[in-house]
Amino acid sequence: MEKKYYLSKSRYCNGLQCHKMLWLDEYKSNEKSEVNNDSVLDNGTEVGIVAKDLFGSHIDIKFNTNLQQMIDDTNKALKNKNTIITEASFIYENNFCSVDILVKNDNDFEIYEVKSSTEIKDIYVEDLTYQVYVLKSLGYQIKSANLVYINSNYIRHGNLNLKELFNIEDLTNVVNSKLSLVKDNIKNICDSLNEEEEPKIDLGMHCVTPYECPFFKYCTKKLPEKNVFKLKGLPNKNKFLLYQNNTYSYEDLLETSINKKYKQQIEFELYNKDDYIDKNEIRKFLDTLSYPLYFLDFETFQQAIPKYDGIKPYMQIPFQYFLHYIESKDSKLEHKEFLAESNIDPRRSLAESLVRDIPKDVCTLAYNMSFEKTVIKNLAYLYPDLREHLMNIHDNIKDLMIPFYHRNYYTKDMLGSYSIKYVLPALFPNEDSLNYHNLDLIHNGSEAMNAYANLGNLSEDEQMKVRNNLLKYCELDTFAMVKIWQKLQEQVETINN
**Residue ranges of domains in the chain, CATH in brackets:** 9-190 (3.90.320), 223-270 (no CATH), 281-493 (3.30.420.10)
**Does position 38 have pLDDT exceeding 50, yes or no?**
no
**Does position 293 have pLDDT exceeding 70, yes or no?**
yes
120-137 pLDDT, tens per residue? Answer: 999 999 999 999 999 999
Confidence category of residue 495, pLDDT binned at 50, 70, 90: low
| Residue 293: C-alpha distances to residues 54, 253, 297, 298, 323 (Å) | 51, 43, 14, 17, 10
**Does position 3 have pLDDT exceeding 90, yes or no?**
no
Question: Half-sphere exposure (CA, 13 Å, Cβ side) for 491?
Answer: 23
| Residue 409: C-alpha distances to residues 260, 290, 343, 367, 431 (Å) | 15, 21, 42, 15, 19
Res 453: pLDDT: 86
**Does position 328 have pLDDT exceeding 60, yes or no?**
yes
156-184 pLDDT, tens per residue? Answer: 999 999 999 999 999 999 999 999 999 99
Res 278: pLDDT: 97
Confidence category of residue 438, pLDDT binned at 50, 70, 90: confident
Among 49-58, 330-339, 467-476, 481-490, the range scoring the smallest mean pLDDT is: 467-476
Give percent of the chain above pLDDT 90: 87
Res 496: pLDDT: 55
Contacting residues for 334 by C-beta, under 8 A, at least 6 apart: 324, 325, 326, 327
Res 455: pLDDT: 87
pLDDT (mean) for 383-390? 98
pLDDT (mean) for 415-423? 95
Confidence category of residue 202, pLDDT binned at 50, 70, 90: very high
Query: Which is nearest to 484 in space by CA: 204, 297, 338, 259?
Result: 297
| Residue 289: C-alpha distances to residues 32, 107, 366 (Å) | 47, 71, 12
Question: What does the buried/exposed string (b/e) look like for 108-131 if buried means 16 or more CB atoms within 10 Å of the residue's CB?
Answer: ebbbbbbbbbbeeeebbbbbbbbb
**Does position 235 have pLDDT exceeding 80, yes or no?**
yes
**Does position 494 have pLDDT exceeding 80, yes or no?**
no
pLDDT (mean) for 362-370? 97
Mean pLDDT, the chain, whole residue set: 94
Res 437: pLDDT: 86
Contacting residues for 405 by C-beta, under 8 A, at least 6 apart: 399, 418
Res 39: pLDDT: 43
Among 2-16, 89-103, 251-265, the range scoring the smallest mean pLDDT is: 2-16
How far, in Å, CA of 43 to CA of 479, rounded?
Answer: 32
**Does position 343 have pLDDT exceeding 70, yes or no?**
yes
**Does position 362 have pLDDT exceeding 50, yes or no?**
yes
pLDDT (mean) for 352-377? 97
The 3 state secondary structure assigned to 427-460 is HCCCCHHHCHHHCCCCCCHHHHHHHHHCHHHCCH
